[in-house]
Amino acid sequence: MQEHKGRAAFAAVDWGTSSFRLWLMTEKGDVLSERRSDEGMAKASAGCTFGKILKSHLSALGAGEDLPVIICGMAGARQGWTEAGYVTVPALPEAILKGAVRVPGEARDIRILPGLANRNPAHPDVMRGEETQLLGALGALGDGTHLACMPGTHSKWVRMAGHEVLEFSTYMTGELFDLLSKQSLLAHSLLGSEGMDMEAFRIAVSKAVAEPGRATNLLFAIRAGQLLEGAGADVSRARLSGTLIGLEIAGASGDALNAFSGTISLIVSGRLGDLYAEALTALSRPFITIAADDAVREGLARAARSLWFQSKE
Amino acid sequence: MQEHKGRAAFAAVDWGTSSFRLWLMTEKGDVLSERRSDEGMAKASAGCTFGKILKSHLSALGAGEDLPVIICGMAGARQGWTEAGYVTVPALPEAILKGAVRVPGEARDIRILPGLANRNPAHPDVMRGEETQLLGALGALGDGTHLACMPGTHSKWVRMAGHEVLEFSTYMTGELFDLLSKQSLLAHSLLGSEGMDMEAFRIAVSKAVAEPGRATNLLFAIRAGQLLEGAGADVSRARLSGTLIGLEIAGASGDALNAFSGTISLIVSGRLGDLYAEALTALSRPFITIAADDAVREGLARAARSLWFQSKE
């Protein structure tokens, strides 16, 4: 396999709070091999073992001692491996690439990409990792204005002009779903099924968009619906997810007077992508989907090219 | 003390999820003595010991074996002592009083008041305990339309015409504050101070009311404000509380076209009352405050009079 594509030119690492992914890649950006684990920042910083974790995965893939490594994500946070700061928006891709910080004290050339910061005092915000997905997604975005939606524990909505990031906002949707589904009064209503009633999901999305101020009332109504109407766990789970995603879309895409009316760029992978696609469809909002897994790898490859293989950029 | 006010005619009990309060009262409604404990439904139902808990408190106050007891709250839930159902709104006070259920198998006359249910399929909702506060607060409410706000773990907003409850909505404000302040990403931002910066609180309230759709973005901005601006724990805590209370007020009091413009009846006790008063003042919303502790006791006394001392009603 490796023979056909060429030899590893660098390793690309997406190092999040709870997950670690590494790819060995050719100069052209082809993937030779991959490693995934749960050794995210939370585990790595507990033992200050970022270096050890990285080395073990590189060794397992037989990577050379001098293979350079490009990293994005929480490894660059203050409480991570080596702080890689934030680039202030508005920001062009070049500023992100230039902000890469070399990990000191390592013989190997290891660089960590910076995050982005929105320093508008009215809407302070930060991202770390998603900026690299954006770098990788740029190929799919033309000129003009874009609104990118990046669902997750902390969903990001990013407004761009061409390839420039103008501003962005984070919504705590995924974390709220997790807390509410496991630890709130609503946990009882979700027991017994992991499924979702998609009709109930669509209705919940529409209700939250129509009346975002009632969001926490719509949440309580999940419990009331179980008590008074005998709503099942699949309906309750769909209502919880739909209410939170609808609230996010209501805030992120603006009100009727102030809405982004173009095609939303949905950068996402897996099951979460299906839910956001369903929500945007229910709201008749046009969108394209860009695979987040591919985008982050392409963003890392682009950074590697600009750092080490300038001629190819 | 007891000599001056007369003898106990009944015991009144507010039996919530996490708290138990009992008062011995005269036929006139004067308080002779009081007991408080944390033996709420959660503790009582675990051991099916509602009867034992009640008896121990009555004995401690020297109450007679045949003293009747009126109870409101979660003791009447399905998972409580004896289920006392829900009266469907719109409902007059008389319907609540008539819905009291006698606890079977007890020599003593023990009655539990029912809750209220909003069976509108678009906004199903339930309350249990607050209906008794409303009964007690009626004396402070005249004819005409009222909007009562009852802050708490699950805040209730109740629309009334005179003494009739028309409809109500529950907001999960208190539970969300608890979850987010202790178990979310925001917990870090709140460490080091239990205080609140009231200017930050007022700004957070106003922002959430102005842009309720951005609620979970405003929550994430608490973390970003700490990272980028060095916001302290007292500012972060105030922003969390203000955002959630503002979101509740945005939904409950309607938008600009559909708002209740009269004087809000704020039924609340303690620190939470100060926060809601601050929020409503910041929004220039007129309100009166009715003490929730007194209201629930007065509501129970009213129920006791209608059950056992009809001539005095």
Residues B186 and B192: their CA atoms lie apart, in Å, by 13
Looking at this predicted complex, what is its ipTM?
0.93
Residue type, B138: L
Q: How many CA atoms lie within 13 A of A256 on its CB side?
A: 4
CB-CB neighbours of A43 under 10 Å: 16
Per-residue b or e along A169-198, where b marks 16 or more CB atoms closer than 10 Å to that residue's CB: bbbbbbbbbebbbeebbbeebbeeeeebbe
pLDDT of residue B203: 98
Residues B111 and B120: their CA atoms lie apart, in Å, by 28
Same domain, B203 and B122: no
Q: What are phi and psi of B86, to 5 degrees?
A: -130, 140
Q: How far apart are the first and last CA of chain A?
A: 26
Structure tokens at B34: 């009081």
Give the mean pLDDT of chain B.
92
Structure tokens at A265: 């760029």
The pLDDT tens digits of the residues spanning A225-236 come to: 999 999 999 999
- State how far the alpha carbon of B120 is from the alpha carbons of A237, B125, B169, in Å: 21, 8, 11
| Beta carbons of B124 and A185 less than 8 Å apart | no
Q: Does a structural domain hold residue A92?
A: yes
Chain A CB contacts of B185 under 8 Å are 154, 172, 175
pLDDT of residue A313: 45
| Beta carbons of B172 and A252 less than 8 Å apart | no
Would you call B158 an interface residue with chain A, using a CB distance cutoff of 8 Å?
no
Residues A296 and A293: their CA atoms lie apart, in Å, by 6
| Beta carbons of B228 and A179 less than 8 Å apart | no
Residues B154 and B127: their CA atoms lie apart, in Å, by 9
Number of domains in chain B: 2
pLDDT of residue B5: 66
Same domain, B250 and B303: no
Chain B CB contacts of A212 under 8 Å are 212-213, 215, 251
Chain A CB contacts of B259 under 8 Å are none
Chain B residue with CA closest to A174: the answer is B216
Beta strands A20-25; A31-37: pairing state? antiparallel
Residue B106 carries which DSSP code?
A: -
Q: At B107, which helix (H) or strand (E)?
A: none
Q: Does a structural domain hold residue B149?
A: no
Q: What percent of chain A has pLDDT over 70?
A: 95
pLDDT of residue B261: 82
- What CATH number does the domain containing A55 carry? 3.30.420.300
Chain B CB contacts of A217 under 8 Å are 123, 125, 169-172, 251-252
Q: How many CA atoms lie within 13 A of A168 on its CB side?
A: 33
Q: At B85, which helix (H) or strand (E)?
A: none
Would you call B168 an interface residue with chain A, using a CB distance cutoff of 8 Å?
no
How sure is the predictor about A312, in pLDDT bands with cuts at 50, 70 and 90? very low
Structure tokens at A11: 């390793």
pLDDT of residue A159: 93
Chain B CB contacts of A86 under 8 Å are 228
Find the mean pLDDT for residues B222-242. Answer: 96
| Beta carbons of B185 and A154 less than 8 Å apart | yes
Q: Does a structural domain hold residue B282?
A: yes
CB B96 within 8 A of CB B168: no
CA distance A126 to chain B (A): 6
Chain B residue with CA closest to A86: the answer is B228
Would you call B227 an interface residue with chain A, using a CB distance cutoff of 8 Å?
yes
Chain A CB contacts of B216 under 8 Å are 171-173, 176, 244, 247-248, 251
CB-CB neighbours of B277 under 10 Å: 14
Q: Which of 38-57 (A) contact B at CB < 8 A?
A: none
Find the mean pLDDT for residues B197-206. Answer: 98
Q: What is the DSSP annotation of B29-54?
A: --EEEEEEES--HHHHHHTT-HHHHH
Same domain, B178 and B279: yes
CB-CB neighbours of B108 under 10 Å: 17
| Beta carbons of A170 and B211 less than 8 Å apart | no
Same domain, B15 and B99: yes
Longest dimension (CA), chain B: 67
Which of A125, A180, A224 lies nearest to residue B126, judging by beta carbons? Answer: A224
The domain containing residue A29 runs over which residues? Answer: 2-120+297-312
Same domain, B303 and B257: no
CA distance A30 to chain B (A): 36
Same domain, B269 and B307: no
Chain A residue with CA closest to B169: the answer is A217
How sure is the predictor about A46, in pLDDT bands with cuts at 50, 70 and 90? low
Structure tokens at A2: 């490796």
Would you call A119 an interface residue with chain B, using a CB distance cutoff of 8 Å?
yes
Nearest to B74 by CA among B40, B119, B105: B40
| Beta carbons of A125 and B244 less than 8 Å apart | no
Would you call B255 an interface residue with chain A, using a CB distance cutoff of 8 Å?
yes
CA distance B271 to chain A (A): 22
Which of B119, B176, B224 lies nearest to residue A216, judging by beta carbons? Answer: B176
Which of A183, A211, A220 lies nearest to residue B171, judging by beta carbons? Answer: A220
Residue B6 carries which DSSP code?
A: -
Chain B residue with CA closest to A185: the answer is B175
How sure is the predictor about B312, in pLDDT bands with cuts at 50, 70 and 90? very low
User: Does B121 sit behind a cis peptide bond, omega within 30 degrees of 0 on the bond before it?
Assistant: no
Same domain, B55 and B100: yes
Would you call A85 an interface residue with chain B, using a CB distance cutoff of 8 Å?
no
Structure tokens at A311: 């001629």
Same domain, B87 and B182: no
Q: Does a structural domain hold residue A275?
A: no
Q: Does a structural domain hold residue B160?
A: no
How sure is the predictor about B193, in pLDDT bands with cuts at 50, 70 and 90? confident
Q: Does a structural domain hold residue B145?
A: no
The residues near B285 (Cβ < 8 Å, ≥ 6 apart) are: B249, B253, B264
pLDDT at A238 over 70: yes
Q: What is the DSSP annotation of B195-242?
A: ---HHHHHHHHHHHHH-GGGHHHHHHHHHHHHHHH---HHHHHHHHHH
Q: Does a structural domain hold residue B164?
A: no
How sure is the predictor about A255, in pLDDT bands with cuts at 50, 70 and 90? low
Angle at A30 between CA A25 and CA A35, to 5 degrees: 50
Q: What are phi and psi of A94, to 5 degrees?
A: -60, -35
Find the mean pLDDT for residues A67-86. Answer: 95
| Beta carbons of B184 and A172 less than 8 Å apart | yes
Per-residue b or e along A107-122, where b marks 16 or more CB atoms closer than 10 Å to that residue's CB: ebebbbbbbbbbeeee
Same domain, B18 and B103: yes
| Beta carbons of A217 and B170 less than 8 Å apart | yes
| Beta carbons of A215 and B251 less than 8 Å apart | yes
The pLDDT tens digits of the residues spanning B1-47 come to: 445 568 999 999 999 888 999 999 999 889 999 999 999 888 887 66
The pLDDT tens digits of the residues spanning B258-308 come to: 568 889 999 999 999 999 999 999 999 999 999 999 999 999 999 999 999
Q: Does a structural domain hold residue B143?
A: no
| Beta carbons of B212 and A213 less than 8 Å apart | yes
How many Cβ contacts (< 8 angstroms) between chains A and B? 136
Would you call B191 an interface residue with chain A, using a CB distance cutoff of 8 Å?
no
Would you call A229 an interface residue with chain B, using a CB distance cutoff of 8 Å?
yes
Would you call A277 an interface residue with chain B, using a CB distance cutoff of 8 Å?
no
Burial degree of B173 (CB within 10 A; 0-12, 13-18, 19+): buried
Chain B CB contacts of A209 under 8 Å are 213
Chain B residue with CA closest to A203: the answer is B122
Which of A123, A213, A224 lies nearest to residue B247, judging by beta carbons? Answer: A213
